[in-house]
């Protein structure tokens, strides 16, 4: 299996990775697909607050995850935190929707919990992750010498892949400007920050410091930008 | 005058006693007042059109008051409702309405009900309302949510709506129309009277007020106050800017003109401009301290009231203000009115001029201060338009379903409704007279089930059918609705306070969000240092450093009106003619002062004749520009810029950023575009205008921005509870309205509120009718296409002003990205 047009291959922490346009990172030597910040149930949270958000975004995010797994042939999806958005994860419609979708995902699904996943540790969540077929991992995991965490490290402690920030890059040209979700390699901490996988969250505009690299993900391609 | 002459409360009109009271104040009724009293007594409703300060309040009120004399003493409860768009005015109005009641010893009670009313009074009003109530549109809607609304309003005899021209063309006006339809349902014999300044479409305004059920009378006053317009001119045009809006270049001239011993209102067009002018005046004339004050809508109410009282008592001589002082408060001592910057509209300047010597019959005057050379044209133009009384029409908003959704929840709370009956009632409101049953049912579905796609979600069931009537059974929904009624205008703001607790006013969240700790900025005439946000309050300390930072408030920029843009084209033609012929003797002084700019335009480019439209092509470091000058007003130029971006992009994919002002528009393209070949009359064709306009609304951000307001008004997005925790939630939701728009567009494209957002953009931003007329005029004009190597005087304001720039692209994201990268590499 090799990269498709649109994918970008990089080396990080001594391993080869593919940056995918679908906002997911593939680790070919392990067959793992790393995604961050799926925020399942954000649409329900907005609905609870009175906003008329249909279920569409969740369905299309789930579909996109299944498609990208199929495209690269991943054996395992590891979510780097913020799998769910909040207590809305317990809404009956949500539970049903995920439980129905899960059997169609042809691989393992594991979660390294992030700050939003605290609700999954409470009494109401008992049995939920089992039903969804999600394996719960520790909050910090070392795989083949590479750290996987939710929040980016704030001390240099070896190469890491993480989420949490929802990085977005602002691109400017003559009389033109755009914001696009991006992969952000923080040179100082050797941390590769993934774009949020969810299509319903806003991002934080980040600026590259010397030594950083950024790649914008457009949905069909990945482009290095400054 | 004897108080025993007629026993109050007997079945006779008190008009003779009221006449005597009128005379005892040394007043003689105007003919229009007599006419209004008589029409009221005959049972008519209608609109009174007279200039500010002519006694229109009493024209409407005394007729209604006289009739209360015929009421049996046992009949209690609300009889007269007075609606004012500004709550700040309610105190003044209440005292004006109270004096005849007190002087004549009538057995009537009078109170106000606004957002400022104390909870004790509100509590009392929950059980019973006074005979005469002064309120705002928002507080009226709130009263309609009371379960016993039908009984409370059943004895209502008269509703008086003040400043109807202000309300009319906004969604607050639609809210009032629906509320009036409800009141007429409760009290079928109700008479409605509106008070308005002069407007062009008085007939529509009157119909919107009285609804479809009756024919309105229109009362006009012949008391026309002459309006004199003059201006302060710059010493020389050399140092007079071609662009910009702050106008501080004119500070010396204005300081020489001002005199704190002559009471003066100095109007500016924006709050930022008022802050800057106040600061500049205070720095230059420290000796005037205490006699110069600042007044605008974001400043704390106590401070504003202190300033208003200071003007009345004469202790404050000069007030730098914004539209916050356009209406209402009677400032009898004011001698002079100064307008800094573009007058924007004919009626608007007349209204402001009327604030000086606010006494019926006396002439009024306004001194204009141009902030850039092009405003000289506007001043000359506005004078001729005022002389011709070419005032603007005000058009009611057509069928805003977001307002209807809010109204439905209000009515469901206030006793509940039957769908057929409410449909019939709503259609009696002028703005909703063509409402289809389909749209009504869709809106009902929105408040009952959250819309067609959301029926599965229980949280949305705001309104439910209970025992045959639509009601709101959920207490939380009820509470949320009552908090949200009245959020028809205004973005989210945060209170600004000194660390010691004193409040300074309110400021937009977005401005505070950009400040960092220790940063200095101007607000309420003070230099402040930002400390931080605590709960729902932004804390500041007195500043210690100089700064130029002033908040920019959103949505405060008004376009010049159609009437004025027409007059501007005529004025330009006169100036161009004078330059051509060398004869400038009979020009007004503003136009004479404008001639050097016309000459500069002729040197660097071309001055278009009346049957020509000028296009300039200008290439610079930023990219390739097309500049066009139809002089049709900003809204038409905005529409034109979007339309051309779309049509040019169709022939050849490109990304255009457009900027526009009242005189023209600019399209900026980052790569070379063959504008000269593309500029053909076909480009300006009216064919497919409707489809093309709709398509450009969809591709630009416009509809998305408009949706934010619609989501708020219809209750789709909850504004938040007053209180610390929920402010964050409100902000989070506000940021989400764009997301909701995108999601709806993708997954529920037929959502009627999306359709409304598009329609509002087409109507408000594009002014489709005007746009079509402009296209026709342009297509039949001669095109003058000129390449310029330096910005011309007409181009400069557009090139400088990038505030409202918006981008429309027909290229793919990837193509734009590749181009930006190539540019960056070229620069490196």
For the segment B384-403, what is each residue's pLDDT rounded down to a tens digit?
888 888 888 888 888 888 88
| Closest C-alpha among B146, B153, B157 to residue B70 | B157
Domain boundaries, chain B: 15-220, 227-387, 401-484, 493-542, 609-825
Distance of alpha carbon B511 from alpha carbon B551, whole angstroms: 6
Q: Do A226 and B809 touch (CB under 8 A)?
A: no
pLDDT of A213 > 70? The answer is: yes
pLDDT of B447 > 70? The answer is: yes
Q: Which one is predicted more confidently, B627 or B556?
A: B627
For the segment B560-586, what is each residue's pLDDT rounded down to a tens digit?
777 788 888 888 888 888 888 888 778
For the segment B76-85, what is each residue's pLDDT rounded down to a tens digit?
789 999 999 8
Confidence band for B219, pLDDT divided at 50, 70 and 90: very high
A91 — phi, psi (to 5°)? -60, 140
H helices present in B296-396, as ranges: 301-313, 346-353, 373-387
Strand partners for B82: B134, B160
The sheet carrying B537-542 orders its strands as B503-508, B493-498, B537-542, B526-534, B520-523
Report field, pTM of the whole predicted structure over 0.80: no
ipTM: 0.71
CATH classification of B15-220, choosing from 2.60.120.590, 3.40.50.300, 3.40.50.620, 2.40.160.20?
3.40.50.300
pLDDT of B380 > 80? The answer is: yes
Treating both helix axes as pointing N-terminal to C-terminal, what angle do B401-413 and B437-449 enclose, rounded to 10 degrees? Answer: 60
E strands, B582-681, in order:
612-620, 623-629, 655-660, 665-669
Distance of alpha carbon B551 from alpha carbon A20, whole angstroms: 42
- The stretch A153-169 carries a mean pLDDT of 89
Taking CA–CA distances from A47, the nearest residue in chain B reads B459
> Which two three-digit tokens encode residue B108?
């009537």
The C-alpha of A54 sits at a distance from chain B's nearest C-alpha, in angstroms, of 6
Taking CA–CA distances from B817, the nearest residue in chain A reads A171
> Which two three-digit tokens encode residue A28?
């070919």
For the segment A25-63, what is each residue's pLDDT rounded down to a tens digit?
999 999 999 999 999 988 887 776 666 677 778 889 999
CATH classification of A8-224, choosing from 3.60.21, 3.30.420, 1.10.357, 3.40.50?
3.60.21
Treating both helix axes as pointing N-terminal to C-terminal, what angle do B346-353 and B562-581 enclose, rounded to 10 degrees? Answer: 100
pLDDT of B299 > 90? The answer is: no
> Which two three-digit tokens encode residue B25?
């104040």
> Which two three-digit tokens encode residue A195?
């774009």
Q: Which one is predicted more confidently, B126 or B434?
A: B434
| Closest C-alpha among B797, B540, B772, B776 to residue B666 | B797
- The stretch B458-470 carries a mean pLDDT of 78
pLDDT of residue B9: 40
pLDDT of B365 > 70? The answer is: yes
Ranking A31-35, A51-55, B728-732, B770-774 by mean pLDDT, the lowest is B728-732
> Which two three-digit tokens encode residue B418?
């039957």
Token look-up 């001119």 returns B233
Q: Do B746 and A56 touch (CB under 8 A)?
A: yes
Confidence band for A66, pLDDT divided at 50, 70 and 90: very high
Confidence band for B240, pLDDT divided at 50, 70 and 90: low
10 Å Cβ neighbour count for B626?
Answer: 24
> Which two three-digit tokens encode residue B490?
């205004």
CB B382 within 8 A of CB B374: no
Residues of A in contact with B619 (CB under 8 A): none
Report the sign of the C-alpha dihedral through residues B766, B769, B772, B777, in that order.
Answer: negative
Q: Tell the burial category of B545 from Cβ atoms under 10 Å away from its Cβ (0-12, 13-18, 19+).
A: exposed
Is A5 in the B-facing interface, judged by CB distances under 8 Å?
A: no
Confidence band for A79, pLDDT divided at 50, 70 and 90: very high
Intra-chain end-to-end CA distance of chain A, in Å: 29
| Closest C-alpha among B745, B806, B297, B774 to residue B553 | B297
pLDDT of B828 > 80? The answer is: no
The C-alpha of A130 sits at a distance from chain B's nearest C-alpha, in angstroms, of 26
Q: How many CA atoms lie within 13 A of B145 on its CB side?
A: 23
- The stretch B520-532 carries a mean pLDDT of 86
Residues of B in contact with A171 (CB under 8 A): 816-817, 820
What are the distances in angstroms from CA B341 to CA A185, B82, B155? Answer: 50, 34, 49
For the segment B329-350, what is each residue's pLDDT rounded down to a tens digit?
667 788 899 999 888 888 888 8
User: Among residues of chain B, what percentage have pLDDT more than 90?
Assistant: 30
Is A136 in the B-facing interface, judged by CB distances under 8 Å?
A: no
> Which two three-digit tokens encode residue A158?
């070896």
pLDDT of B812 > 60? The answer is: yes
Distance of alpha carbon B752 from alpha carbon B63, whole angstroms: 44
Distance of alpha carbon B309 from alpha carbon B277, whole angstroms: 21
Nearest beta carbon to residue A173 from set B715, B814, B823: B823
Interface test mutation site (partner A, options B405, B459, B649, B743, max chain A beta carbons within 10 A): B743
Confidence band for B487, pLDDT divided at 50, 70 and 90: low
CB B349 within 8 A of CB B337: no
Residues of A in contact with B808 (CB under 8 A): none
pLDDT of A220 > 60? The answer is: yes
Q: Do B740 and A51 touch (CB under 8 A)?
A: yes
Distance of alpha carbon B588 from alpha carbon B608, whole angstroms: 21
Is A92 in the B-facing interface, judged by CB distances under 8 Å?
A: no
Question: Per residue in B725-757, is it b (16+ CB within 10 Å) or e — as a string?
Answer: ebbeebbebbebbbbbbebbbebbeebbbbebb
CATH superfamily of B227-387: P-loop containing nucleotide triphosphate hydrolases (3.40.50.300)
Q: Which one is predicted more confidently, A1 or A203?
A: A203
Taking CA–CA distances from B459, the nearest residue in chain A reads A48
Per CATH, B15-220 and B227-387 having the same topology is answered: yes
Helix/strand/coil for B457? coil
Helix/strand/coil for B184? helix
10 Å Cβ neighbour count for B55?
Answer: 18
Residues of A in contact with B459 (CB under 8 A): 47-48, 50
Nearest beta carbon to residue B670 from set A54, A174, A221: A174
pLDDT of B778 > 80? The answer is: yes
Distance of alpha carbon A192 from alpha carbon A186, whole angstroms: 6
| Closest C-alpha among A147, A140, A136, A133 to residue A190 | A147
| A–B interface: beta-carbon pairs under 8 A | 115
Taking CA–CA distances from A222, the nearest residue in chain B reads B814
Token look-up 């008519």 returns B44
Distance of alpha carbon B586 from alpha carbon B612, whole angstroms: 25
> Which two three-digit tokens encode residue A64?
């996109």
């Amino acid at each position: 299996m090799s990269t498709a047009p649109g994918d970008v291959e990089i080396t990080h922490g001594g391993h080869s990775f593919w940056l995918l346009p679908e906002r997911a990172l593939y680790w070919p030597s392990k067959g793992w697909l790393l995604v961050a910040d799926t925020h399942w149930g954000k649409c329900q949270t907005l609905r609870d607050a009175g906003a008329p958000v249909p279920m569409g975004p969740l369905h299309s995010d789930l579909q996109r995850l299944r498609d990208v797994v199929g495209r690269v042939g991943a054996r395992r999806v590891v979510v780097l935190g913020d799998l769910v958005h909040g207590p809305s994860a317990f809404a009956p419609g949500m539970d049903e929707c995920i439980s129905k979708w899960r059997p169609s995902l042809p691989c393992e699904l594991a979660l390294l919990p992030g700050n939003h996943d605290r609700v999954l540790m409470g009494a109401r969540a008992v049995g939920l992750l089992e039903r969804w077929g999600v394996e719960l991992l520790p909050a910090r995991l070392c795989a083949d010498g590479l750290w996987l965490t939710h929040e980016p490290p704030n001390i240099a402690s070896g190469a890491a892949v993480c989420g949490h920030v929802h990085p977005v890059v602002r691109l400017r040209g003559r009389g033109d400007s755009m914001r696009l979700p991006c992969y952000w390699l923080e040179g100082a901490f050797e941390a590769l920050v993934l774009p949020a996988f969810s299509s319903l969250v806003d991002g934080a505009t980040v600026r590259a410091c010397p030594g950083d690299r950024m790649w914008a993900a457009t949905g069909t391609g990945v482009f290095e930008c400054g | 005058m004897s108080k025993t002459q007629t026993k109050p409360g007997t079945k006779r009109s008190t008009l003779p006693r009221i006449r005597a009271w009128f005379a005892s104040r040394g007043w003689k009724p105007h003919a229009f007042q007599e006419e209004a009293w008589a029409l009221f007594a005959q049972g008519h409703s209608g609109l009174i059109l007279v200039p500010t300060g002519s006694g229109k309040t009493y024209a409407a009120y005394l007729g209604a008051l006289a009739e209360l004399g015929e009421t049996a003493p046992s009949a209690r409860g609300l009889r007269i409702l007075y609606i004012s768009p500004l709550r700040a005015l309610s105190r003044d109005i209440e005292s004006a309405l109270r004096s005849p009641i007190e002087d004549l010893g009538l057995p009537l009670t009078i109170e106000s009900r606004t957002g400022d009313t104390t909870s004790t009074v509100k509590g009392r009003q929950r059980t019973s309302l006074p005979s005469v109530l002064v309120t705002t549109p928002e507080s009226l809607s709130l009263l309609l949510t009371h379960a016993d609304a039908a009984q409370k309003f059943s004895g209502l005899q008269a509703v008086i709506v003040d400043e109807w021209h202000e309300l009319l063309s906004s969604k607050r006006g639609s809210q009032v129309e629906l509320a009036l339809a409800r009141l007429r349902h409760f009290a079928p014999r109700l008479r409605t009277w509106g008070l308005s300044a002069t407007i062009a479409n008085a007939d529509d305004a009157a119909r919107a007020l009285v609804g479809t059920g009756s024919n309105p009378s229109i009362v006009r006053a012949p008391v026309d106050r002459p309006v004199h317009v003059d201006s302060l001119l710059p010493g020389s045009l050399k140092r007079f800017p071609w662009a910009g809006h702050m106008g501080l270049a004119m500070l010396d001239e204005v300081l020489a003109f001002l005199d704190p011993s002559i009471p003066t209102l100095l109007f500016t067009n924006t709050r930022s401009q008022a802050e800057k002018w106040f600061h500049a005046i205070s720095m230059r004339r420290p000796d005037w301290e205490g006699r110069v004050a600042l007044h605008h809508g974001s400043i704390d109410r106590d401070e504003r009231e202190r300033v208003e009282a200071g003007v009345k008592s004469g202790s404050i001589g000069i007030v730098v203000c914004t539209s916050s002082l356009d209406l209402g408060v009677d400032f009898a001592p004011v001698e002079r009115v100064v307008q800094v910057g573009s007058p924007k509209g004919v009626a608007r300047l007349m209204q402001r001029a009327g604030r000086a010597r606010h006494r019926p019959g006396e002439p009024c005057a306004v001194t204009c201060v141009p902030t850039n050379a092009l405003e000289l044209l506007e001043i000359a133009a506005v004078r001729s338009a005022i002389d011709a009384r070419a005032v603007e029409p005000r058009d009611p908003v057509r069928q805003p379903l977001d307002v209807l959704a809010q109204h439905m929840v209000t009515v469901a709370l206030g006793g509940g409704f039957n769908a057929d009956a409410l449909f019939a009632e709503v259609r009696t409101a002028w703005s909703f007279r063509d409402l289809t049953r389909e749209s009504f049912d869709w809106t009902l579905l929105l408040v009952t089930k959250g819309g067609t796609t959301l029926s599965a979600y229980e949280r949305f069931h705001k309104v439910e059918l209970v025992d045959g009537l639509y009601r709101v059974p959920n207490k939380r929904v009820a509470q949320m609705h009552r908090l949200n009624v009245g959020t028809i205008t205004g973005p989210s703001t945060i209170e600004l306070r000194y660390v010691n607790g004193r409040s300074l006013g309110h400021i937009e969240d977005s401005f505070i969000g950009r400040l960092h700790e220790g940063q200095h900025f101007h607000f309420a005439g003070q230099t402040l240092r930002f400390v931080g946000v605590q709960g729902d309050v932004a804390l500041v300390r007195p500043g210690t450093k100089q700064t130029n930072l002033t908040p920019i408030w959103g949505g405060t920029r008004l376009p010049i009106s159609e009437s004025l843009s027409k007059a501007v084209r005529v004025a330009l033609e006169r100036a161009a003619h004078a330059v051509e012929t060398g004869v400038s003797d009979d020009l007004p002084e503003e136009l004479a002062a404008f001639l050097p700019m016309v000459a500069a335009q002729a040197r660097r480019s071309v001055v278009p004749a009346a049957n020509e439209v000028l296009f300039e092509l200008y290439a610079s470091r930023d990219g390739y520009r097309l500049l066009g000058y139809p002089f049709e007003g900003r809204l038409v130029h905005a529409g034109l810029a979007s339309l051309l971006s779309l049509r040019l992009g169709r022939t050849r994919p490109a990304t255009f950023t457009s900027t526009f002002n009242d005189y023209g528009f600019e399209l900026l393209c980052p790569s070379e575009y063959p504008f000269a070949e593309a500029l053909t009359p076909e480009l300006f064709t009216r064919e497919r205008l409707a489809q093309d306009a709709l398509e450009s609304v969809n591709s630009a951000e416009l509809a998305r921005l408009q949706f934010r307001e619609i989501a708020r008004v219809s209750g789709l997005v909850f504004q938040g509870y007053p209180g610390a925790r929920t402010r964050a939630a409100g902000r989070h939701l506000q940021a989400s309205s764009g997301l909701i728009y995108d999601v709806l567009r993708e997954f529920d494209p037929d959502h009627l509120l999306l359709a409304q957002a598009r329609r509002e953009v087409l109507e408000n931003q594009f002014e489709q009718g005007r746009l079509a007329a402009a296209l026709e005029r342009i297509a039949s004009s001669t095109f003058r296409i000129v390449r310029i190597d330096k910005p011309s005087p007409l181009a400069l304001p557009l090139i400088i002003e990038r505030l409202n720039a918006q981008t429309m692209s027909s290229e793919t994201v990837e193509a734009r990205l590749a181009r930006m990268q190539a540019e960056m590499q070229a620069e490196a």
